[in-house]
């Protein structure tokens, strides 16, 4: 099962809204075939693992290990349970059941009803943690929410900007860590900033410093007052503008209409769920980050602390820090990764360690 998890991580950032899945076929203690779900719409892990077995006659005497329940429905690919039964695999060991309504125990039940030996729950917590985006999405009916910011050693995320100042970001971390953040962006479905960040920093919110797909950009613009020249409005990638005025689509830019009241974030997360966006990286600014924290609407927080001192400026968001999931030094910066203890059980290992 540990090998299944190792294989499955190869799909990070490529399979959403599907889960990351690895599969291993074992015969008398020897691995005959293995595989993982490589990209959304492509063959599932079980298909790759079974196809890798050269001596087909051994399949009926083999055990299939997979970190998530095999699918039982026709989606973009045929049901994996049917393939397992066709190949007469005698035993299936599953890390955890699938929370998706179309599966949700049906695959396990079908295999058992046809005489296949099935065990469930091997490395269950590790399997859930690997696919925490997927489980949160289906169990809580909203995206997995990651808060991210960089702060100075004295606790500021920005200097005080003077009126009319040039709109560009204030860098606190190193260029290597900016590359890491771009890598993270490839792993999430969407990325979100507030109005002030859009104006002050004029961010692109793409992955120009890494390889992979760009996330869907989301920006708040209540009265549609953002200047048209901003990078977020350049139609270069899928973008959602949250506002109170209009609901329309213009090129790659969608305008979603919401009331800017206390229910805004909850309703927005519901709409993102309906649009099948599985995870969201919230990058700022301070007011937006604190709004998510205030509503306890977050699953993970990733915080860089640099060695600079601003003396004064925009205070970093304040978060009730649970026990560290991970704290490490990256060059001159310190990186903290927290899980929200009110929403999920933290495990001792993270798949998001800050390495390039």
46 a catalytic residue: yes
- Looking at the DSSP bridge assignments, the partners of residue 302 are 148, 337
The Cα–Cα gap between 55 and 296 comes to 53
Helix (H) or strand (E) holding 147: strand 144-151
Exactly one of 6, 34, 46, 275 is catalytic; name it. 46
Burial group, residue 85, by CB count within 10 angstroms (0-12, 13-18, 19+):
middle
Please provide the DSSP assignment of 232-262 as one string: GGS-SS-EEEEESS--EEETTEEEEE---ST
Alpha helices, DSSP H, located in the chain: 2-8, 45-51, 80-86, 106-113, 124-130, 132-140, 175-187, 195-201, 264-274, 286-294
- Looking at the DSSP bridge assignments, the partners of residue 146 are 281, 300
φ/ψ region of 161 (left if φ > 0, alpha if ψ in -120 to 50, else beta) reads beta
The Cα–Cα gap between 227 and 185 comes to 25
- Residue 166: phi, psi to the nearest 5? -65, 135
Q: How many helices (H) and strands (E) does the chain have?
A: 10, 17
The Cα–Cα gap between 43 and 188 comes to 21
- Looking at the DSSP bridge assignments, the partners of residue 94 are 66, 120
Would you name the residues annotated as active-site residues? 46
């Amino acid at each position: 099962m540990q090998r299944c998890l190792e294989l499955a991580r190869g799909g990070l950032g490529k399979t959403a809204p599907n889960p990351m899945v690895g599969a291993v076929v074992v015969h008398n203690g020897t691995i005959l075939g293995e595989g993982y779900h490589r990209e959304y719409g492509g063959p599932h892990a079980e298909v790759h693992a079974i196809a890798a077995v050269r001596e087909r006659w051994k399949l009926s005497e083999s055990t299939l290990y997979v970190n998530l329940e095999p699918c039982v429905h026709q989606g973009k690919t045929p049901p994996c349970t049917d393939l397992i039964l066709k190949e007469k695999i005698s035993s299936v060991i599953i890390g955890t059941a699938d929370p998706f309504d179309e599966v949700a125990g049906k695959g396990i039940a079908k295999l058992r009803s046809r005489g296949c030996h099935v065990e469930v729950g091997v490395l269950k917590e590790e399997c859930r943690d690997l696919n925490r985006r997927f489980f949160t999405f289906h169990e809580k009916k909203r995206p997995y929410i990651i808060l991210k910011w960089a702060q100075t050693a004295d606790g500021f995320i920005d200097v005080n900007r003077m009126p009319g100042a040039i709109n560009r970001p204030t860098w606190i971390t190193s260029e290597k860590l900016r590359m890491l953040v771009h890598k993270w962006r490839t792993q999430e479905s969407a990325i979100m900033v507030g109005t002030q960040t859009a104006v002050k920093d004029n961010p692109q919110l793409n992955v120009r410093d890494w390889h992979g797909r760009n996330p869907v950009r989301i920006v708040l613009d209540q009265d549609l007052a953002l200047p048209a020249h901003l990078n977020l409005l350049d139609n270069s990638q899928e973008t959602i503008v949250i506002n109170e005025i209009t609901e329309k689509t213009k090129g790659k830019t969608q305008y979603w209409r919401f009331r800017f009241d206390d229910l805004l974030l909850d309703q927005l997360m519901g709409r993102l769920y309906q649009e099948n966006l599985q995870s969201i990286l919230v990058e700022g600014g301070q007011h937006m980050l604190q709004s998510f924290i205030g509503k306890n609407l977050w699953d993970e927080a990733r915080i860089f602390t640099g060695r600079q001192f601003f003396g004064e400026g925009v205070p970093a968001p304040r978060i009730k820090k649970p026990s560290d999931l991970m704290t490490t030094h990256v060059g001159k910066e310190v990186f903290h990764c927290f899980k929200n203890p009110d929403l999920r059980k933290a495990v001792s290992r993270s798949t998001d360690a800050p390495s390039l």
